[in-house]
Chains A and B, each alone.
Chain A
Amino acid sequence: MNGLRAFFALLVIAAPATLESQAGGMITGRVTDRLNETPIGGAVVWVGGGQQGGRTDANGRYAIRDVLPGVYRVTVRAVGFRAITRDSVFVSSGRTAVLDFVLTSEAVALPGVAVVGTPDRLLDPREPQTIQQIGGEELRQLPVTSLEEAIELQAGVVQGSFRGGRVGEEAWVIDGLGVKNQLDASSGQLGLRIPTVALEEATLVTNAFSARYGQALSGLVTAATRDGGERWEGRIAYETDRPLPDGWDVGLDRLTVSVGGPVLGSVRLFAALDAQGRIDDDPVHAPPPEDTLDPRTERPWLLPHNSGEQYDLFGKLTIPLGRQQTLRLSGASSESRRLLYDPALKYVPDAGPAQRVSGRLGLLHFRRTSSPSAATSFIVDLRLGYFSKEAIRAPLTEPTTAEFGAFTFAGLEFAGEALAKAGDTLGALDPIPGVTVPQFVETTPWGVPGFFTTASPRGELTWNRFREGRARLDFLVGRGADTDLRLGGEYVRQQVTTFTRLEGYRAVVDGAPPPTTAAFFPFQAAGYVELQQRAGELTFTGGLRADAFNGRAATEGGQSKTQFTLGPRLALSTALGPATIVASWGRFAQPPDFQYLVDAAFDDTLRTGRFRRGNPSLGFETSTQYEFQVRARPVPFFAVRVGAFVKRLDGLVASIPLGFDPDSSIYGNGDFGNVKGLEVTLEREYRDAFGLRATYVLQQAEATATDARDLFRRLQITPVGDTVVPATAEFPLNFDRRHAVIVVARASVPVELGSVVGGTEAALVARWSSGLPFSRSNATGDSLIGLPNAQRLPAQVTIDLFLRRTVRIGGMRLGGFVDVRNLTNRRNVVAVRRDNGQPVADDLVISTAAEAAFQANPDPIPYESRRYRPWADLDANGLVEGRDELLPLYLRAATDFTQPLFFFGSPRLVRLGVELRF
């Protein structure tokens, strides 16, 4: 055995590799006779009402595969023996629960025994994957309010980037079905949120993942939702910061409700609602202005026209169909509405653009399992899903009216939404109804025209909709307790519709960029096969996935081609001495964002009317990842996990200049890069009222370009069509966070310590992370200074705290909690100006802007004008005129306008909550 172990260890070292399987968990164990401790073959073990189960082999071993995360009742029956049942067997995704049974003969009066073995998950070689698990209950015990926030606590995740990759290189799997915003994942949102109260469990995999899943390069987030229980249970919670004083109160109200139970016979229902509103949905901890006339001087909080509300709904019906079939119907709906603060509109709080992102998911899951008594277990899963995501960003036709906190309860009325949905580019040649012509505001404290406007100068209307129907079929064949074979495939039919119109307040004939629209119907298809074989303490997993997609966006010469790619994945894990080692290798692929397949006109902070040519022939973006991990437990309850990985990224989408026109380019699979990293986790398991996990990540992520929309391009195409290939220098990727430390501690006060604090639970999350890279540019933003992403932001530190106290009152549990983010109220710099590398504009920038505004508007301001400010009329002649009187006003206005609000992170945020569980 030792020789075999050594052989595989050598194999692992020689060809570092891993992979994994993201699915349900497994219940395995051994059934023996109490009388003589001999194994009992042919015993049947099943969960719940018998929907899933397994039969013991001659060695008395059994395995029940792909059990959805949850708490189960497990029963064993063997001929001649008393049947016994074990309640509360917890199964989590990707993990193995060991449950041994000791049966007694019917002739013997003694009862049987079921022993739940708790295999050391850290050292269990049956877990080759590096799964970072987030239980639904844990979500409620940490200072997090969403799954996204919980994921940010895991190693290797930075603001939506997984292990240094670009944003959008991850995929979501909800109840076994892939969900991805394939339109604009790199710059947009998924649009769908599962309420945290509806989560049974979520997992994050950043190293490699099962061949079952694709559409991702760097990470996989799986969410398993709750089923309704066997009795009615519910929870209602309300959080707010209303009682807090000004400056601490950002206008938060959040209501979460969940309820579940049997509705008709064995049919169970679960439903959840999460509604949240914040008057300032993106609070910033920017320093107050020094100018006493600036209204922020007195009230440096709650930015106007920055509120947001979101509604997340989830519902699920679990319908057993006989003993071996189960049908699950679930649906989720999310909608977020945001008013978007614009510094130019600071003095017209009712104006400004807004954004609505909505997501819908419908899922049908039919599962058929083989009889628990079958020698070979067989599971078929058919999933049919519909996912849509729609986003619009445009000016509002009417100001919103909040009814309760930030909740308006009504939808937003966007200018031009009907035009956009109809793709009416002809009608959009005229000014968009409801989009106001921007004028300089008269009522600023400074009076002078410039900087502050009555409506957005961008007048932007962008709308897009992504829809997909997905059919997926999975087969799992389990032979004995040690061999699993999975195979299956999926087909995805998609629809992409986009519409963009800039400067909607004026007609195209008057100089506005023409509207752009796109509508096409891509498809994706995939097939996979994956084998997992366990032999003692060695587990081998190998898989192969084939992916294809066709954007089916028309090119000049016809339809785009279907792209193919293969993704082999291997993983090997074994115990080696006091540690377990895991090695994995995998090749992963994802189609490019479909937004890069079509032409796009857009503007940025520097210029309007920029144009990017889409490329329907874009191919897959790929990554190849190697990982080697060692897990050890030097002392009881203390775990050490060290993993090193190398990820090769290739075929990344980049924008490539066309000719020498800086405003014209085309997308191509032009970039490549490397991510190398080391992740170290030290964990003191939660036991005896205390637990702690500390994670350190050292990482280097570099590529030949920093961003698909950034200024630097690797390739250039000259006006005559030649391709210029510059040196293959690599620069830090935007999320190249070199060092990150995350400490999560949990503790509880023993109940014996008294009724006041006894039973109080506490969780603390401390984070330190080195700064992200950024590029310096010249004042106009057209030319980089130095190398791309050669500069670094300052390090960030946050400490979050969560306290909960629950009491039982008359059969229900009433809890109160306090959630504090950024406890120390540290002012974290999250971005800087590219021209000076600081959050605050320097004097030269301000004076230059003021001078430019003065030169553009040098006219005197008469007394009767609403712009007239008596204190600025130095000679008191009824006119603010000339450089001496006007320029100081422009300087103060420029200082006001350039306040670095969103260059700073959140201030201390406190929320108080009560919850009632019944």
Chain B
Amino acid sequence: MPGTESSCRTSAGGPGCVTPTSALLCSKLAQWSLRALVILLVASVVQSCDHSAPLDVAEQLPLDPRGATLPIRLTYNPSDDIDPAVGGDMIVYSLLEPGREDRDRCLGYLPTAGGTRLALRCPGGAVADSTLDAWLQPAVSDDGRIAYVLQRSSVLAETPSLRRIVVAPLEAPDSALFEASAFFDLADGRRAFDLRALAWTESGALRFVAGKDSFPKPDGVRDTLFQPLRLVELDLTTGSITEIAGTDGVIAHAPAPDGGIWFVMESTPRVLWHRPPGGSSPDSIGAFSGAVSHVANIDGLPVGVQPGPDTSLVEILDLGTGMSAATIVVIGRASQIAPIPGSRSFVLQLITNMHPDLWLLALP
């Protein structure tokens, strides 16, 4: 290369360029070093410069709860918000979104303090438009699973054609880990095909009130009435149903602090029964001031809900006296109650204006 020769000549006499051979080697070495240097220099400049970022679409910031003092209204959905359950630092509930074309009932996920919903999960699938799919009665386990009732009916039918108990990851309720039919026979031959008060047990089973529906037409319009049969437990490992003795006609239940079960019977709706762990016979441990429809264990205390048409009572039972210890009066017809673990707060389902909403309250 002419350039090579001339550059070597000009540097002749310099260090390392004494003989023609070494001068040539020196020159080539210098050239390649220079090329490498240029490439490295460009690479380092490039590395140090970042490109502009594309248009950034920021997420909308979630809102805080609407109101600072209890009770706080958690949902303003003009349609139904029902079946609250708490677990995994969130409230999971079943809702019907207004305007939803397929009229499926979804699961909503709220922060336990309220505010903007964290997520909404809805039934999907290819048959979504020809059936009404409802995800009901969610229950959240400590290990991040959710159990719920999948109820499906034809758009023209008055009664469901399918009702199953589904267990799935909390964040993906449509990715079923376990499914079992809600249609089964009890040991005494009675057939159960509906359920209420689905809850997880400490051992990882599902506990619920097995029952059946009746469809009276008192005013010419068909209604659906739930008839409780017995409290049962569903083993997710084997899929087997275990009936809990002495719980015929149970309408509500909650876990007792000793590992047993508190429950209320349809025949004695004021009385709170306790079934100790180990399977011995249940005992009456107290009585509410009126008939309760739902019970809960809030901070170790038995709490019952006494629904009324305009006002309802949330009553705390004193386990020492077996009598009412305190009562909270709420406006509206209350029903499901879900305690927030580790606190005295709870979520209450309340109908104040035609449709049920969820409210956040706390025991005094």
Contacts and interface: CB of A to CB of B under 8 A. Distances in A.
B63 A870 contact: yes
A238 B77 contact: no
Contacts of B124: 437
B258 interface: no
B164 interface: no
Interface stretch (B42-50, B189-197, B210-218, B318-326): B42-50
B51 A251 contact: yes
Contacts of A809: 34
Interface in A773-829: 808-812, 814
A710 B30 CA distance: 64
B364 to A, nearest CB: 26
Given A280-B54, A303-B54, A431-B126, A812 B117 contact: no
Contacts of A443: 57, 59-60
Contacts of A347: 57
Given A246-B52, A809-B34, A864-B74, A295 B58 contact: yes
Contact of B42 (A238, A348, A447, A862): A238
A510 B126 contact: yes
Interface string A844-877: 0000000000000111101111101110000001
Nearest to B60: A443
Interface string B156-190: 00000000000000000000000000000000000
Interface string A240-282: 1111001101110100000000000000000000000001100
Interface string A300-337: 01111111000000000000000000000000000000
A864 B98 contact: no
A863 B56 contact: no
Given A437-B124, A914-B42, A349 B76 contact: no
Given A808-B3, A878-B76, A864 B42 contact: no
Contacts, number: 141
Contacts of A304: 54-57
Contacts of B27: 810-811
A131 B69 CA distance: 84
A848 B35 CA distance: 63
Given A506-B126, A864-B75, A302 B7 contact: no
B357 to A, nearest CB: 9
A879 B78 CA distance: 9
Given A299-B55, A301-B52, A304-B54, A812 B35 contact: yes
A607 B1 CA distance: 67
Contacts of A114: none
Interface in A509-550: 509-510
B221 interface: no
B110 interface: yes
B153 interface: no
Contacts of B31: 810-812, 918
Interface residues of B, number: 48
B129 interface: yes
Contacts of B34: 809-810, 812
A810 B3 contact: yes
Interface in A599-639: none
Contacts of A506: 126
A908 interface: no
A636 B108 CA distance: 83
A427 to B, nearest CB: 15
Contacts of B63: 863, 868, 870
A279 B51 contact: yes
7 nearest A-B pairs in the assembled complex, by CB-CB distance = A859-B99, A862-B76, A811-B3, A242-B49, A878-B76, A859-B98, A302-B54
Interface of B: 1, 3-4, 7, 27, 30-31, 34-35, 38-39, 42, 45-46, 49-60, 62-63, 66, 73-78, 97-99, 108, 110, 114-117, 120, 124, 126, 129
Given A299-B56, A918-B31, A918-B35, 15 more contacts: A240-B46, A242-B51, A295-B57, A295-B58, A296-B55, A306-B54, A437-B124, A443-B59, A443-B60, A510-B126, A808-B3, A810-B31, A812-B3, A864-B76, A916-B39
Interface of A: 236, 238, 240-243, 246-247, 249-251, 253, 279-280, 295-296, 299, 301-307, 346-349, 405, 430-431, 437, 442-443, 445, 447, 449, 506-507, 509-510, 808-812, 814, 857-860, 862-866, 868-870, 877-879, 881, 914, 916, 918
